[in-house]
Amino acid sequence: MSQTIFVFGCTGQDGSLICQSLLKKKFKVIGFSRKSDPNRNNHELLGISKDFEIHQIDFKNPKVIKKAIDRFHPSEIYNLGAQSSVGKSYVEVSETLESIVNATVNILQSSKEVQYDGKIFFAGSGEIYGETNLAAKRSTPPNPQSPYGIAKACCLNYVKFYREVYKLNCVSGILFNHESILRSDQFVTKKIIKNALKCLKNKNHKLKVGNIDIARDWGWADEYVEAMQIITRSKILKDQIICTGTLTKLKDFIQITFEKLGLKWEDYVEIDKKLFRRSEISRNFGNPIQLKQELGWESRLKISQIIENMINHEIIFCKDNINSTH
């Protein structure tokens, strides 16, 4: 079996981190992007931009997916591409559906048609569970509350269907929120860190946020891309929940961030009702026990260290944000 691995969505946060991890393990990586001139900023930041090539791919066209699999015979395929913002999914409903469901179905069907016998990993989401009073397990019934969550729930069923009916070696990792130094600006965690640093520089600056009473299960993406590989390489393919099991309120995320910079968060944060979501999930968290018991993986980094890493990165790489370090 070839040791070439495909990464669909290779320019994003997880795509870039898994490429880095695979390259370190000496796999030959081939990345795929929708764009003819993909954004390689994340790869440059990780120092891997010269280490693998990126091919343009149209996920609406099964023919090109089949051609790529036939040509390179990858041993593993990671599908990490998606319109990945829950907030944006309320506005860009069709694009969310197309990038998540249609792309997944086309990859599954193309793989079936070329009788692909390697492994395929799909990035699912904890958003499929919606409100979680108890930590979500594999057996928890999906109850998505956003177009993004609905699309991811649909994909989970498709992956299971192709695995059970067509015996394709495909599996989903149901990922709860995870951050890294590559997190893009459209996500609230990065917004908090960037704005807290602006507050340090300018005492009149304000951070505008929506509902700060929501709580999420935030992990570290560098660890999650290792979990993806463990799940994909396991002998028996079983969908797995990738999470920390710990809930943190957004208010606490903000407080920890400002405290690390020596600031009192209440002096800088403004609640903006316009930023509240239509169907806000107040608690969304998973139960990590099945993945630990079945495959031995568990998250390590705690929320305080995650925030510290993100702040340190922002200070080093975005010096225009701040004159002094904390």
Query: 228 with 121: CB under 8 angstroms?
Result: yes
Stretches 6-14, 199-207, 261-269, 294-302: which one binds ligand NAP (CB under 6 A)? Answer: 6-14
- Give one DSSP letter per residue of 106-174, joined into a string: HHHHHHHHTT--SEEEEEEEGGGG-S-SS-B-TTSPP---SHHHHHHHHHHHHHHHHHHHS---EEEEE
User: By CB under 6 A, is residue 55 in contact with ligand NAP?
Assistant: no
**In the complex, least distance from residue 282 CB atom to ligand NAP, rounded to whole angstroms:** 18
Alpha carbons within 13 angstroms on the beta-carbon side of residue 85 total 14
- Residue with smallest beta-carbon separation from ligand NAP: 12
Between 199 and 248, CB nearer to ligand NAP? 248
Kindly calculate the radius of gyration of the chain based on its CA atoms and give it in whole angstroms: 20
Query: 209 with 275: CB under 8 angstroms?
Result: yes
For residue 56, the SS3 value is strand
Between 95 and 131, CB nearer to ligand NAP? 95
**In the complex, least distance from residue 129 CB atom to ligand NAP, rounded to whole angstroms:** 11
Stretches 31-39, 104-112, 207-215, 276-284: which one binds ligand NAP (CB under 6 A)? Answer: 31-39
- Of 20, 21, 33, 246, the one binding ligand NAP by CB under 6 A: 33
Q: Which residues contact 148 (CB under 8 A, 6 or more apart)?
A: 83, 84, 85, 86, 89, 96, 100, 125, 127
Beta bridge partners of 174: 124, 241
Q: Which of the residues 176 through 195 are near ligand NAP (CB under 6 A)? A: 177-178, 184
Alpha carbons within 13 angstroms on the beta-carbon side of residue 30 total 17
**In the complex, least distance from residue 142 CB atom to ligand NAP, rounded to whole angstroms:** 14
Stretches 170-178, 198-206, 253-261, 294-302: which one binds ligand NAP (CB under 6 A)? Answer: 170-178
User: By CB under 6 A, is residue 83 in contact with ligand NAP?
Assistant: yes
Binding site for ligand NAP (CB under 6 A): 9, 11-15, 33-35, 38, 80-84, 95, 99, 123, 125, 175, 177-178, 184
